[in-house]
């Protein structure tokens, strides 16, 4: 009987420990998350999609903006997965690179702006919780994750751009490479469709 | 070529449907967006309907030529993307509508938990009419008032205040919805996992395995390279689950002091080398890319990760001294 009792205690203990962790999340993370996400959701609604779209269409000419500010705005305002739709402002040959830099920002953004990808928060929180427990400052980690993320998505955008041009050439997609670069024209066309 | 209708009902624990899809001259493709070749469900739909099946990772087609999409999305993104584009969507994973695109996941365009058992020939016509534009909701318009001066001012102030409150209220509603449908379920999963690992002692065993990889910068670079391998990354990607689990394990090691604290930043990039690699064709389609762009862009992104992921870890390592 004693053995059975021990087994049962151990079994329940597993989930008591889980419940404790869950309660910790509920009291530490959820309240902040709810008010923060509500405020940002409201802000996005006040600013409005059209204004963001118009602004984003102007950013596509320079590669430094194309792989930094454009994905940041896309991720912040349209969140995962609608942030990729901003790719329509770009000529075909830049689209893979934009996607790559956009998707790579979806986790670095969550430390400070969890609304942008709330379903995948734990990619950050898993490590950040341990970091906090060891006595670290979580906000500082979030901020550094954000800043490093910007540098990384820029490098990634540039590398992927070169590689996609290589693959376009190899697969003989010359019409994509030679596509006119008049971004303003492109914007008008796509804006009508959208 | 003659085309036939195919009926798909929901599977065990599934949701939505039944869908009846039928290809035609213009829309003749059923796409398999499952990251590992052509799904048997997509194959069966093609066989029964007379349509063509394509793996949209290797051979993307225009969304205008697609009559059905087969996905294996346990998260929320792919399940919503295709319904939003007006393409009937068959999910082999049993999920219910959730996430930012939940409003597009409707019974008449989405069915989940489907296996080959649930696909059968049908005599009925397609239930789904594509390009069913949502009818613009006619808001009850406010009648122009002829009152002048003061009353008008009150009217304007009232309207602005009302809009302000409504926007915030809606934002709160969206937030609670996300918390319940996306955040809490994941927290429940992670909390249970952490509880079991801590209480059972598995944590100590894992520490032995993980500490040589996560405990120093060389190990982290190797970890990022493994995650970025072009044949692994599309499998490791979906919904960030694997990254989250590995992250939680490394977090545990940081908490106990086995992994040094300042490695938290490079570790964040090491576990994330595969981010979005499962989503390339879908993401590019959302950006209105042409099939040729997707064909060339997919390998470009996969190979780019092999170069940029170790660089990302090293950059993060350089910044990590600010954490000390």
Interchain contact A71–B (C-beta under 8 A): no
Cα distances (angstroms) measured from residue B40 to each of A88, B33, B45, B94, B116: 32, 12, 9, 16, 7
Give contacts of B249 with chain A, Cβ < 8 Å. Answer: 126
Give residue-wise pLDDT tens across range B126-181: 555 444 444 444 444 444 445 677 888 888 888 888 888 888 888 888 889 888 88
Cα dihedral sign for B184, B185, B188, B190?
A: negative
pLDDT at residue A157 greater than cutoff 90: yes
Q: What is the pLDDT of residue B234?
A: 82
Give contacts of A9 with chain B, Cβ < 8 Å. Answer: none
Please give the residue that has the higher pLDDT: either A173 or A180.
A173
Q: With beta carbons less than 8 A apart as the criterion, state whether B184 and A33 touch.
A: no
Q: CB–CB of A100 and B276 under 8 A? A: yes
* 3-state secondary structure at position A181: coil
Give bridge partners of residue B66 from the DSSP assignment. Answer: B29
How far, in Å, CA of A123 to CA of A135, rounded?
A: 19
Q: CB–CB of A88 and B187 under 8 A? A: no
Retrieve residue B173's tokens.
């509603």
Give contacts of B297 with chain A, Cβ < 8 Å. Answer: 95-96, 99, 164, 167
Residue A68 exposure: Cα atoms within 13 Å on the Cβ side: 12
Give residue-wise pLDDT tens across range A58-68: 888 787 888 99
How far, in Å, CA of A21 to CA of A26, rounded?
A: 9
Q: What is the pLDDT of residue B45?
A: 85
Cα nearest neighbour of A40 on chain B: B171
Q: What is the pLDDT of residue A102?
A: 92
Cα nearest neighbour of B178 on chain A: A118
Give contacts of A81 with chain B, Cβ < 8 Å. Answer: 77, 80-81, 100-101, 279, 282-283, 286
Residue B251 exposure: Cα atoms within 13 Å on the Cβ side: 29
In chain B the first and final C-alpha atoms are separated, in Å, by 68
Q: What is the mean pLDDT of chain A?
A: 85
Q: What is the pLDDT of residue A180?
A: 57
Q: What is the pLDDT of residue B1?
A: 62
Give residue-wise pLDDT tens across range B71-100: 887 666 777 888 888 888 888 887 777 767
Give residue-wise pLDDT tens across range A74-102: 899 888 878 888 888 888 888 999 999 99
Give contacts of A12 with chain B, Cβ < 8 Å. Answer: none
Q: What is the pLDDT of residue A86?
A: 85
Q: What is the pLDDT of residue B314?
A: 94
Beta-strand pair B19-21/B110-112: unpaired
CA distance B66 to chain A (A): 19
Cα nearest neighbour of A93 on chain B: B293
Q: With beta carbons less than 8 A apart as the criterion, state whether B243 and B267 touch.
A: no
From the list B53, B71, B73, B220, the catalytic residue is: B73
Q: What is the pLDDT of residue B26?
A: 83
Q: What is the pLDDT of residue B131?
A: 42
Q: CB–CB of B276 and A103 under 8 A? A: yes
Interchain contact A53–B (C-beta under 8 A): no
In three state form, how does the secondary structure of chain B look?
Answer: CCCCEEEECCCCCCCECCEEECCCCCCCEEEEECCCCCCHHHHHHHHHHCCEEEECCCCCCCHHHEEEEEECCCCCHHHHHHHHCCCCEEECCCCCCCCCCHHHCCCCCEEECCCHHHEEEECCCCCCCCCCCCCCCCCCCCCCCCCCCHHHHHHHHHHHHHHHHHHHHHHHHHHHHHHHHHHHHHHHHHHHHHHHHHHHCHHHHHHHHHHHHHCCHHHHHHHHHHHHCCCCHHHHCHHHHHHHHHHHHHHHHHHHCCCCHHHHHHHHHHCCCCCCCCCHHHHHHHCCCCHHHHHHHHHHHHHHHHHHHHHHHHHHHHHHHHHC
Q: CB–CB of A34 and B239 under 8 A? A: no
Q: What is the pLDDT of residue A193?
A: 44
Count how many residues are written for chain B: 324
* 3-state secondary structure at position A100: helix
How far, in Å, CA of B102 to CA of B99, rounded?
A: 5
Q: Which of residues 72-131 of A touch B (CB under 8 A)?
A: 79-82, 84-88, 90, 92-93, 95-100, 102-104, 106-108, 115, 118-131
Retrieve residue B260's tokens.
């040094």
How far, in Å, CA of B143 to CA of B156, rounded?
A: 13
Cα nearest neighbour of B240 on chain A: A120
Residue B54's CB is within 10 A of a number of other CB atoms, namely: 21
Give bridge partners of residue B303 from the DSSP assignment. Answer: none
* Model ipTM value: 0.83
Give contacts of A173 with chain B, Cβ < 8 Å. Answer: 292-293, 296
pLDDT at residue A188 greater than cutoff 50: no
Angle between helices B217-228 and B291-319 (to 10 degrees): 170
Q: What is the pLDDT of residue B308?
A: 94
Percent of chain A residues past pLDDT 90, beyond the cut: 35
Prior bond to A171 cis, omega within 30?
no
Retrieve residue A20's tokens.
């404790």
Tokens 């901020």 appear where? A143
Q: What is the pLDDT of residue B139?
A: 45
Is residue B277 part of the annotated active site? The answer reads no
CB-defined contacts A:B, below 8 A = 306
Q: What is the pLDDT of residue A150?
A: 95
Q: What is the pLDDT of residue B75?
A: 65
Band of pLDDT at residue A106, cut at 50, 70 and 90: very high
Interchain contact A15–B (C-beta under 8 A): yes
Q: With beta carbons less than 8 A apart as the criterion, state whether B29 and B88 touch.
A: no
Q: CB–CB of B199 and A13 under 8 A? A: yes
Give residue-wise pLDDT tens across range A30-44: 898 899 889 888 888
Give contacts of B311 with chain A, Cβ < 8 Å. Answer: 152, 155
How far, in Å, CA of B288 to CA of B133, rounded?
A: 19
CA distance A189 to chain B (A): 12
Measured between CB atoms, which of B99, B186, B191 is closest to A21? B191
Q: What is the pLDDT of residue B149?
A: 78
How far, in Å, CA of B254 to CA of A135, rounded?
A: 10
State which residues of chain B have pLDDT below 70. Answer: 1, 35-36, 74-76, 99, 124-147, 237, 239
Q: Which of A28, A84, A161 is best to mutate for the B interface (most B CBs within 10 A)?
A: A84
Interchain contact A178–B (C-beta under 8 A): no
pTM of the predicted structure, to 2 decimals? 0.73
Q: What is the pLDDT of residue A71?
A: 92
Prior bond to A94 cis, omega within 30?
no
């Amino acid at each position: 009987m004693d053995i059975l009792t021990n087994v049962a205690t151990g079994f329940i203990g597993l989930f008591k420990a889980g419940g404790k962790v869950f309660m910790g999340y509920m009291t530490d993370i959820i309240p902040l998350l709810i008010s923060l996400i509500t405020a940002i959701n409201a802000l996005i609604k006040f600013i409005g999609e059209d204004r963001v779209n118009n602004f984003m269409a102007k950013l596509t000419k320079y590669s430094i903006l194309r792989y930094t500010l454009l994905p940041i705005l896309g991720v912040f305002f349209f969140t995962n997965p609608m942030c990729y739709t901003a790719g329509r402002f770009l000529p075909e040959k830049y689209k893979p690179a934009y996607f790559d830099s956009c998707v790579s920002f979806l986790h670095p953004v969550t430390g400070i702006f969890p609304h942008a990808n709330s379903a995948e928060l734990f990619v950050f929180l898993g490590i950040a919780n341990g970091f906090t427990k060891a006595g670290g400052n979580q906000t500082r980690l979030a901020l550094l994750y954000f800043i490093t993320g910007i540098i990384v998505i820029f490098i990634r955008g540039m590398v992927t751009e070169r590689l996609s041009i290589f693959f376009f050439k190899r697969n003989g997609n010359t019409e994509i490479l030679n596509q006119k670069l008049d971004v303003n024209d492109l914007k008008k066309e796509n804006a009508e469709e959208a | 070529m003659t085309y036939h209708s195919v009926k798909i009902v929901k599977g065990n624990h599934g949701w939505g449907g039944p869908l009846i899809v039928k290809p035609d001259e213009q829309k003749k493709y059923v796409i398999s967006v499952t990251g590992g070749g052509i799904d048997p469900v997509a194959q069966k739909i093609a066989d029964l309907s007379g349509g063509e099946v394509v793996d949209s990772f290797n051979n993307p087609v225009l969304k205008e030529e697609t009559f059905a999409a087969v996905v294996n999305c346990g998260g929320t993104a792919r399940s919503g993307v295709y319904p939003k584009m007006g393409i009937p969507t068959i999910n082999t994973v049993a999920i219910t509508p959730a996430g930012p695109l939940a409003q597009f996941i409707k019974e008449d365009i989405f069915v989940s938990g489907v296996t080959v058992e649930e696909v059968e020939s049908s005599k009925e016509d397609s239930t789904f009419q594509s390009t069913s534009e949502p009818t613009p909701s006619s808001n009850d318009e406010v009648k122009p008032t002829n009152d002048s001066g003061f009353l008008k001012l009150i009217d304007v102030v009232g309207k602005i205040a009302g809009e302000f409150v409504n926007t915030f209220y809606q934002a709160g509603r969206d937030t609670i919805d996300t918390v319940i449908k996306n955040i809490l379920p994941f927290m429940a999963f992670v909390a249970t996992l952490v509880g079991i690992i801590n209480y059972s002692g598995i944590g100590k065993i894992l520490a032995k395995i993980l500490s040589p990889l996560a405990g120093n910068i060389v190990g982290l670079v190797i970890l990022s390279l493994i995650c970025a391998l072009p044949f692994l990354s599309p499998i490791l990607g979906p919904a960030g689950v694997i990254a989250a689990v590995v992250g939680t394990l490394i977090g545990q090691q940081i908490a106990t002091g086995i992994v040094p604290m300042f490695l938290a930043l490079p570790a964040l990039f090491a576990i994330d080398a595969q981010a979005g690699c499962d989503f390339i064709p879908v993401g590019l389609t959302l950006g209105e890319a042409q099939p040729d762009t997707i064909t060339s862009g997919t390998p470009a992104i996969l190979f780019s990760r092999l170069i940029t992921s170790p660089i990302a870890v090293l950059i993060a390592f350089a910044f990590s001294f600010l954490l000390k």
